[in-house]
Amino acid sequence: MEEEFVLAKVYDPHQVEQKWYTFWEKQGYFHADEQSSVEPYSIVIPPPNVTGSLHMGHALNNTLQDILIRYKRMDGKNTLWLPGTDHAGIATQYVVEKELAKEKKTRKSLGREKFIERVWQWKKEHGGIIIEQLKRLGASCDWARERFTMDEGLSQAVREVFVSLYEEGLIYRGDYIINWCPRCHTALSDLEVNYKETEGKFYYIHYPLKKGKKTIIVATTRPETMLGDTAVAVHPEDERYRDLVGKEVILPLMDRVIPIIADEYVDKNFGTGALKITPAHDPNDFEVASRHDLPAIKVIDESGKMNENAGQYRNLDRFTCRERVIEDLKRQKLLKKVESYIHNVGHCYRCNVIIEPTLSKQWFLRTAPLAKPPIAAVKEGRTRIIPPVWEKTYFEWMENIRDWCISRQIWWGHRIPAWYCKSCGELMVLREDPKTCKNCGSKEIEQELDVLDTWFSSALWPFSTLGWPKKTRELEVFYPTSTLVTGFDILFFWVARMMMMGLKFMGDVPFRDVYIHALVRDAEGQKMSKSIGNVIDPLVMIEKYGADSFRFTLSALAAQGRDIKLSEDIISGYRNFTNKLWNASRFVFLNLRDYEVDENFKPFDYYSLADKWILSRTSKLIQTVRNALDNYKFNDAANSLYHFIWHEFCDWYIEFSKERLGSNEKEKAFRRSTQQVLVEVLDIILRLLHPFMPFVTEEIWQKLPGTKGSITVASFPKENVDLFNQEVEEKVEILKDVIYHIRNIRGEMHIPPSQKVEVIIFCENKETESFLKNYRNYLIQLALIKKLKFSKSRKRPPASATAIVRGIEIYVPLEGLINFEEEEKRLNKEVAKVEKQLTFIRKKLTNEDFLHKAPREIVEKENQRYQELLEKQKKLKEGISRLIEMKNTD
């Protein structure tokens, strides 16, 4: 026996994973050759934040990408999976600021330059964590090409894009109401604001008319902003206020005269129907003001404090100011009433502080003209969105796109390449840093302080990572990329913007297919979150169950358009599958002691029925898996592999093969051919499984006779239609049915495996009879038969159990095998026990209290248990009636 063919008794992922990953990297299998003329297949990774650590979303996203990449690599494509990380502006700055706070420092005390150095330092020390974690998962990225959104090349791309868009007039500076975080000191995009239902107050305030004693009442949730009011607006068709339009009021507390205007934006039925207008601190008021040419007065500063325009309230925090304003209004009897009010309040997605809409100078990208080509590209099918339900969302966004505020008031990021001249006010946007003002020659120039939104650089990712703006061979070969795998939550943030930039600067779509995967939720369908405490850590799962079982679980659950409900139990269940594969492989190896690769041996001359059957099934499996992967149906591919390996290869073929493997010397060729089929089928299974389970498949494949190199670069199996054999498949189904029914009788009658039985078969159809006679060995072996007889008549032997399947009558005489009285007693006892349990659970399941209080999961488990017990009860009762029947035929 050749020791090297034998696998360890138990599969231990720890022994295996690191070993193979290092081997693959060392061999350079993940490296794409840009000089190759082979058909390319490329994916750019959605770059995880450099601050990130692997969560379930990453795990799913990268498992799916790795499956595609490994599949295409094996299938002979020139495969590139380009990895990298995102500098994640606000997120990273926030992490480093927190670190500084521990040292009692702030970014301001450090200064811009020192702070940025510090962030780079942090990146050097901690930025590689997620990359290492991706390797643990088995991700076969081309690590030599790893990029970072702030590395030199990518920064070059950002600058080139910014300057050329500016030169085209697509980038402009403007006044705009933005979402401002007073803690992070930065503008946030609409998508970076979390709206939360908050209990607030609705204040009704009298604004006295300039002439006369009357007042007009406005209602607001943010009374401190009234200090910046520049009008009161009513609906033009509101009878109540018709006479007041064009008149003036005196703004309380500020004693400023402001007009009453009419605008259709006002909702007559909301509040009092009169609206205070604060253009500098409300996006809708800003729009109204621009229609009516009203001034905007900013009263709140960057830190959320009242500024010099707030008069006596200057320097107060905005919320303290709110209290003071209310007190003062009360004192002046200008506060009519206060109502409780639940409304949605915007919070910073990063630090959770309440957003202050603020007027400020920002940089904008005019997106409407850029959005047209991406709409056309998807309509014309140049880029496919899969599943197609997401197309609608994509079009909706693209067709209603608003200008993109691309400036951020933070330090970590691509600083905007614009310079202001302090002498003449000239604004310069340039590809090279200027030393003097190009207008007046002054040396007093200063670079814009703002940096670009993080998504600006990630929008360039598919081409900046391939070397753009240089004309590289990589761009030529790998752009457009083949597939993008991403979550729907960044369809707009990222996918839509890559489409705009790719079409604009490369003249072609950035990817042919966009595969949008679902979310990973907990077992009950809740979103995983730290505060709920239902987070499953991918790295803990990999440590406990191995990367392969974990990856396989995710892919088996990755149905298109359906969220994944994940629990540790499911992962542990798939570990059994990994072990099943391992044990089946051990069986194969143990039967290869006398096997040698022999090119001259023609196995097909000696194939058994089972050999032909498994080869036909295997070829169909190849077709199914390929088809599923080509259509991004990862779960279909995984589940058909699971079913085939467990229920066809292990349950049946391995059992069938024992008959041939036990052949004596004389029939060596039969043994030889079955050995070869075992090797071939296992080889195909391993290669089909490799994209899903890279480690265990490599470990086994390396020991398979006739393999060379690595399974990573072995060819992906192609179906052989010549091996399809419907007739054989149907015949084997008959054998399986007969065996199943005999086994069933054995089970019901409690006959131990050591006890072989006698079986008598009667077939009306003579053809079936001769078929069963020909393959009697399979029946004898798999149904544990000591004597198999074919009866000429339908006469049932005394005391025998019967089954009829496909017109075949099966008799199993039980005389002497079981004690009928004892067996009936035992079965009755079992029935009683099951019925007692059933009553107990039934009581629980009809108890309203239990149903209300118990977690849904528990109720579901009880329900399931109830169904199982019912099934058991039915089986036991069948057994009893079988016994009674037998007694009666005596």
Given the rule CB under 5 A, which residues bind Zn ion? Answer: 181, 183-184, 348, 350-351, 353, 421, 423-424, 426, 437, 439-440, 442
Tokens of 803: 């089954």
Which DSSP string corresponds to 783-820?
TTEEEEEE-SS-PPPTTEEEEEETTEEEEEE-BTTB-H
Cα angle 169, 170, 173 (rounded to 5 degrees) comes to 80
Tokens of 83: 């990895």
Task: Return the SS3 of 96.
Answer: helix
Select 352 or 867, whichever has its Cβ closest to Zn ion: 352
Query: How near is the Cβ of 408 to Zn ion at its closest, in Å?
Result: 11
Query: How near is the Cβ of 148 to Zn ion at its closest, in Å?
Result: 24
Query: How near is the Cβ of 186 to Zn ion at its closest, in Å?
Result: 7
| CB-count burial class (<10 Å; 0-12, 13-18, 19+) for 728 | buried
Select 15 or 439, whichever has its Cβ closest to Zn ion: 439
Residue 523 Cα distances to 434, 449, 484, 565, 570, angstroms: 58, 47, 28, 5, 9
Query: How near is the Cβ of 89 to Zn ion at its closest, in Å?
Result: 12
Task: Return the SS3 of 671.
Answer: helix
Which amino acid is present at 196?
A: K
d(CA 497, CA 456): 8
Query: How near is the Cβ of 281 to Zn ion at its closest, in Å?
Result: 17
Select 49 or 640, whichever has its Cβ closest to Zn ion: 49
Residue 822 CA neighbour count, 13 Å, CB half: 7
Which DSSP string corresponds to 25-44?
HHHTTT---TT--SPEEEEE
Helices and strands (DSSP H and E) totals, the chain: 29, 29
d(CA 143, CA 147): 9
Enumerate the β-bridge partners of residue 513: 384, 483
Query: How near is the Cβ of 303 to Zn ion at its closest, in Å?
Result: 12
Query: How near is the Cβ of 198 to Zn ion at its closest, in Å?
Result: 16
Cα angle 510, 516, 522 (rounded to 5 degrees) comes to 145
Select 428 or 570, whichever has its Cβ closest to Zn ion: 428
Select 195 or 604, whichever has its Cβ closest to Zn ion: 195
Query: How near is the Cβ of 486 to Zn ion at its closest, in Å?
Result: 26
Owner of token pair 């690769």 = 597
Select 440 or 540, whichever has its Cβ closest to Zn ion: 440
Select 353 or 804, whichever has its Cβ closest to Zn ion: 353
Select 144 or 353, whichever has its Cβ closest to Zn ion: 353
Distance of CA 828 to the CA centre of its chain: 51
Select 181 or 654, whichever has its Cβ closest to Zn ion: 181
Query: How near is the Cβ of 121 to Zn ion at its closest, in Å?
Result: 23
Select 31 or 183, whichever has its Cβ closest to Zn ion: 183
Which amino acid is present at 685?
A: I
Select 69 or 421, whichever has its Cβ closest to Zn ion: 421
Query: How near is the Cβ of 568 to Zn ion at its closest, in Å?
Result: 35
Q: CB under 8 Å to 114, separation ≥6 — which residues?
A: none
Query: How near is the Cβ of 183 to Zn ion at its closest, in Å?
Result: 4
d(CA 811, CA 824): 19
Cis amide prior to 480 (ω within 30 degrees): yes
Comparing CA positions, the residue from 813, 814, 831 lying closest to residue 869 is 831
Select 353 or 590, whichever has its Cβ closest to Zn ion: 353
Query: How near is the Cβ of 179 to Zn ion at its closest, in Å?
Result: 10
| Strand 511-517 with 481-487, pairing | parallel
